[in-house]
Structure 1
Amino acid sequence: MSDKPKINVIKNIRKLHNLYKNIGVYCRVSTNSHKQLHSLTQQISYYVKLFHGHPTYRLYDIYIDIGSGNESSERSQYQRMLNDCRNKKLNTIITKSIRRFGRNTVEVISAVRELRNLGINIIFESENLDTRDSNNEFLISILSGLAEAENESRRLNIIWGLEKQAKNGTSELYRRRCYGYKKDKIGNLTINESEAETVRFIFSSYIAGKSYKQISKELTENGISSPTGKSTWCNKTIENILSNEKYCGEVILFKNISESKLSGFSSDIIKHRNSYHMIESHPEIISKEDFNLVQELKKKRSRKKPKDSSNVI
């Protein structure tokens, strides 16, 4: 007989209620970074293994969203999951945590109550909470509120860091590449001559009196690829190029950023956010005089006639 005791590992596998039939799994990560996608893969693998070999528990579907939880309207898979619940396709939803499930306390509690009325419960794995127990609702509201406050604090820290870098001139956003430019070995913007020629053509054509539509049509007919590599140009692309101060060697950070692009920042934060203007940031493609002239012409033309809504896609 061996002196060393023999140890068998008894794996702790979560057991689900016998009445559970159709299971829906909801997974969400905030970005498509390698680290978060790896986390998503692990989540999916875990749930597939959890239900493998248990015919009583039918894994009906896995709903996967990639993006901020603050953009609920854009969480298409979350909405699809709720619709499947309303159509009686699911008996139970399992998700990693309260934070991953809803954007705020109101949304979480609203979903919990709606699904409970439909006879569907939600299991929050990290918190070990099951909405079958109505007593858990109060605890869920508290934990959801804490997660919401933590997310808001993190968002404030992020925008504070971005503004600090913008203010002291160290932000990488100043060196973000756009059509007409490329980056050198150390990351500075330099002129891409072939694209810059197209940029100069766009500005000179507009100064000569041509419209967005005429310019986009001419570029398309000449076989010049758009900034996205397409064979056709759209009017909006022409307008964006003509409005971009980067072509005269300047950069303005945090201008005209909508609330949705700030991923959940409150309207007060957006209203009081500063913009940061760096002059002579990089080589100019268009002179400052021509850029200013184009801005004046745009204002005059917009007052003379309705905005051209036609577009070339």
Structure 2
Amino acid sequence: MAMMNEMEYRTIGKALAGGYRAAVYCRLSKDDDLQGESASIANQRDMLEKYCEKQGWEVVAVYQDDGFTGLNMERPDLQRMLRAIERRQINLVITKDLSRLGRNYLQTGHLIEDFFPRNGVRYIAMNDGIDTLRDNNDIAPFKNILNEMYSKDISKKVHSSYLLKAQKGQFTGCLAPFGYRKDPEDKNHLLIDQETAPIVRLIFGYALNGHGPNYIRRRLEEEKIPCPTWWNRERGLRNTRTKWEKKDPENGRYMWDFSVIKDLLMNPVYTGAIASQK
């Protein structure tokens, strides 16, 4: 489809005034400066829905990506919204500010300057005063650049923080290694998990007697000892299931993966050392 020129785009926009099919898009990630609750998904959604209601625009869909960095343009709900735009189900997209749409300079610019106009979509970044239907968007490319620089700077600071903790011998992983648990008083400190530690000792006992991972795997399955994935799900730490659990929900929990046992035996954490940032 040929790209519409500016006059055609404005004509369509005026014809649709008061009859927009609006999509509200919200995003939140750990690298954002939240400033209290003002940037939460719920508050973004409420603010944008009220604004659309005041303008007399119908909100046909709300899309929200929680926990995704703005540098990632493959966010599930963003992609779902773009597909709806291509199906001509939406002709207005509104976000709290430009950084909610994305922090990737080139790809966010492509959406605003090419994809949205080509599909007859008006875009509004409310707090930034950006509206593609009006001549007030000269600042948008500069905001895109600053948003990308901000996200990369935050990413470097977060990585530096993890590296500093690792150098101090602190644990920085999301989940404690099997056989350990995070200290409730200090998430960077590991404690022995009295429920699962005996399983780890059993595995190392087999290994010290000269048995390899395949032998150990068979013994664990014969003794019907649940695998780490089951323990994490049982404790609400993860909701994933192994491929064996999907095939056999009753007995799949007792099926151990060769690589899990191999990695466990090679992990220096079981000697009392902390290894991270590898």
Q: Same fold (TM over 0.5)?
A: yes
Provide closer, same or farther for how the CA distance between residues 185 and 140 of structure 1 changes in structure 2, counting only shifts above 3 A: closer
- Counterpart Cα distance in 1 of 2:31 and 2:153: 22
- Specify the SS of the correspondent of 2:65: strand
The answer to whether 1:123 aligns with 2:124 is yes
- Specify the SS of the correspondent of 2:177: coil
* AA partner of residue 271 (structure 2): C
- Counterpart Cα distance in 2 of 1:166 and 1:252: 8
Q: Which residue of 1 aligns with 2:262?
A: 239
- CA deviations on 1:109-159 (whole Å, 9 max, x unpaired) are 1111111111112100111111224662x4211111011112222222222
In the alignment of these two chains, the number of paired residues is: 234
Give the 5 Å matches for 1:54-93. Answer: 56-66=56-66, 67-73=68-74, 75-93=75-93
- Counterpart Cα distance in 1 of 2:196 and 2:87: 52
C-alpha contact 1:25 1:62 (8 A) present in aligned 2:
yes
39-48 or 225-234, larger mean C-alpha shift: 225-234
Tell me by how many angstroms 1:248 deviates: 1.2
Mind listing any 5+ residue stretches in structure 2 that lack a counterpart? 1-15, 232-252
- Counterpart Cα distance in 1 of 2:158 and 2:83: 34
Q: Which residue of 2 aligns with 1:46?
A: 47
Q: Which residue of 2 aligns with 1:250?
A: 273
240-249 or 22-31, larger mean C-alpha shift: 240-249
- Counterpart Cα distance in 2 of 1:195 and 1:175: 18
Q: Let me know the Cα RMSD of the aligned residues.
A: 3.2
Q: Which residue of 2 aligns with 1:145?
A: 145
Mind listing any 5+ residue stretches in structure 1 that lack a counterpart? 1-16, 256-313
C-alpha contact 1:220 1:233 (8 A) present in aligned 2:
yes
Tell me by how many angstroms 1:217 deviates: 4.6
* AA partner of residue 124 (structure 1): A
- Counterpart Cα distance in 2 of 1:124 and 1:185: 41
- Counterpart Cα distance in 1 of 2:173 and 2:110: 42
Provide closer, same or farther for how the CA distance between residues 218 and 133 of structure 1 changes in structure 2, counting only shifts above 3 A: farther
Q: Which residue of 2 aligns with 1:269?
A: none
Tell me by how many angstroms 1:198 deviates: 1.2
C-alpha contact 1:93 1:122 (8 A) present in aligned 2:
yes
TM-score (norm 1): 0.64
Q: Which residue of 2 aligns with 1:263?
A: none
Provide closer, same or farther for how the CA distance between residues 246 and 46 of structure 1 changes in structure 2, counting only shifts above 3 A: same
C-alpha contact 1:27 1:63 (8 A) present in aligned 2:
yes
Provide closer, same or farther for how the CA distance between residues 88 and 97 of structure 1 changes in structure 2, counting only shifts above 3 A: same
Tell me by how many angstroms 1:192 deviates: 2.9
Tell me by how many angstroms 1:190 deviates: 3.5
Q: Which residue of 1 aligns with 2:180?
A: 181
* AA partner of residue 181 (structure 2): K
Provide closer, same or farther for how the CA distance between residues 175 and 104 of structure 1 changes in structure 2, counting only shifts above 3 A: closer
- Specify the SS of the correspondent of 1:23: strand
Q: Which residue of 1 aligns with 2:110?
A: 110
* AA partner of residue 129 (structure 2): N
- Counterpart Cα distance in 1 of 2:265 and 2:37: 37
C-alpha contact 1:175 1:189 (8 A) present in aligned 2:
no
- Counterpart Cα distance in 2 of 1:39 and 1:175: 23
- Counterpart Cα distance in 1 of 2:135 and 2:170: 49
* AA partner of residue 21 (structure 2): N
- CA deviations on 1:23-56 (whole Å, 9 max, x unpaired) are 00110000499966971111112233334487x5
- Specify the SS of the correspondent of 1:93: strand
The alignment-based identity, stated in percent, is: 24
Larger Cα Rg: Structure 1 or Structure 2?
1
